Amino acid sequence: MSNNNNVSSEAEEFKVGANEAFKAIELDSHNAIYYANRAFAHLKLEEYGSAIQDASMAIQLNPNYSKGYYRRGAAYLAMGKFKEALKDFQQVKKICPNDPDAARKLKECEKAVTKLKFEEAISLPDSERRSVAESIDFHTIEVEPQYSGAKIEGDVVTLDFVKKMMDEFKNQKFLHKRYAYQIVLQMRQILQALPSLVDINVPNGNHFTVCGDVHGQFYDLLNIFELNGLPSEENPYLFNGDFVDRGSFSLEVILTLFAFKCMSPSAIHLARGNHESKSMNKIYGFEGEVRSKLSETFVDLFAEVFCYLPLAHVINEKVFVVHGGLFSVDGVKLSDIRAIDRFCEPPEEGLMCELLWSDPQPLPGRGPSKRGVGLSFGGDVTKRFLQDNNLDLVIRSHEVKDEGYEIDHDGKLITVFSAPNYCDQMGNKGAFIRFEAPDMKPNIVTFSAVPHPDIKPMAYASNFLRMFS
């Protein structure tokens, strides 16, 4: 077991690096090296849109500067834009023909683009695509006599089953694929019946807990339950997206959350994050993990079921909860969110994209996204959205915060992030928010990372992404 509580924050180092590069650019705005250095810091902070902007400026200032193309190509790869990345790495190889590192990365990128083109060639139009779920009958799957793990008796997922399953996961044992199928297929039925915006009612005298990104950190999820109790009708939760990817126990996380939802649909609510998508899962580890621990069919099944996850929740008609943030236009009403056809992979623009990807900014108005997808929005945007919809507060996740949370926009927006010591290197705390009805004032609880087996984050991530980590 490895305990990561003493790991210092690498994020601070990269923030310092970005600030130093910013100061250097202020002194000399025509030096390509300074822009490439700041692009590197943006890459490490996962601000891929900003990295592309700076790398492009470095290239503009010096078209033969290989690191400009290298940094931009790495940012494109991290965003899943393989074809754009390929062009940049081809340019790196042209400038540095004898660089073995450049040659290796170009080869990996070529493989990714070839695979992508093949998948595009054999893919069917949406109208002709058959549901993976409808082709699976878990009842026909035999459970071997020697299997001694958790079992679902009949069609009902019970608390005893979920507890035993979590205990097996804690000891690095797997759930039989029959029961994994049963949970995911039952989850699909539950989610299919939900609207894109779910209204949650918390009766007076009761409480409700909102958690942010978990990102495959199963042992930290167990710690949340240790600190705050297991999900139940008396102790309900909302997990606000990004359950999977990066952490190498994503399958254990998603099966646990899904199993609780099957056990008691009102005990736990789940929202879609930007990482509940094929493009992210292909790069950041969930697809590789599912393929390794279960099968290719499960990869397709999870991709299908993720498309059924709701996009946002409103608690007691006052608290709006969404993974990413708000919109590029004013006047968006809750009815507009309810009307979104969410049963698809996230588009690259529009309301659904912005719900999953956007971030708050300190300045008023709107700005380009540092991620390269969605946008940044100011406190005035938050204020108008709340007023237009008679709401009091926005809760969102999507960003690692040193204390596990951050309060912005004059107290009208709170970011909550529940993956402490993110990726075993950020040194941050995790947090969750408890609300008590009827006053619905947010009570924020922070916690530190706990030990986990010595399996590194990103262990199942794509080869080319690990090359840049």
Catalytic pick among 269, 275, 313, 323? 275
CA nearest neighbour of 235 among 256, 204, 266: 266
Q: Is 139 a catalytic residue?
A: no
Rounded to whole angstroms, the Cα distance separating 94 from 117 reads: 24
What three-state secondary structure class fits 33?
helix
pLDDT at 5: 38
Average pLDDT over residues 409-432: 97
Give yes or no for residue 140 having a pLDDT over 70: yes
* Alpha carbons 246 and 249: distance in angstroms, whole number: 9
Asked if residues 113 and 83 have their Cβ atoms less than 8 Å apart, the reply is yes
Q: What angle do CA 3, 7, 13 make, to 5 degrees?
A: 160
Average pLDDT, the chain: 93
Q: Is the pLDDT of residue 8 over 50?
A: no
Q: What is the mean pLDDT of residues 92-96?
A: 93
Q: What is the pTM assigned to this prediction?
A: 0.93
Residues 274-296, mean pLDDT to the nearest whole number = 96
Model confidence at 3, in pLDDT bands (50, 70, 90)?
Answer: very low
Beta bridge partners of 367: 376
How many of the other CB atoms lie within 10 Å of CB of 374?
26
**pLDDT tens-place string over residues 348-387:** 999 999 999 999 999 999 999 999 999 999 999 999 999 9
Cis check for the bond before 125: say yes or no (omega within 30 of 0): no
Q: Higher model confidence: residue 228 or residue 22?
A: 228
Report pLDDT digits (tens) over 233-268: 999 999 999 999 999 999 999 999 999 999 999 999
Residues, the chain, total?
469
Alpha helices for 123-275 (secondary structure H): 159-170, 177-192, 218-228, 250-263
Taking only the tens place, the pLDDT of each residue in 44-79 is 888 999 999 999 999 999 999 999 999 999 999 889
The 10 Å Cβ neighbour count of residue 9 is 16
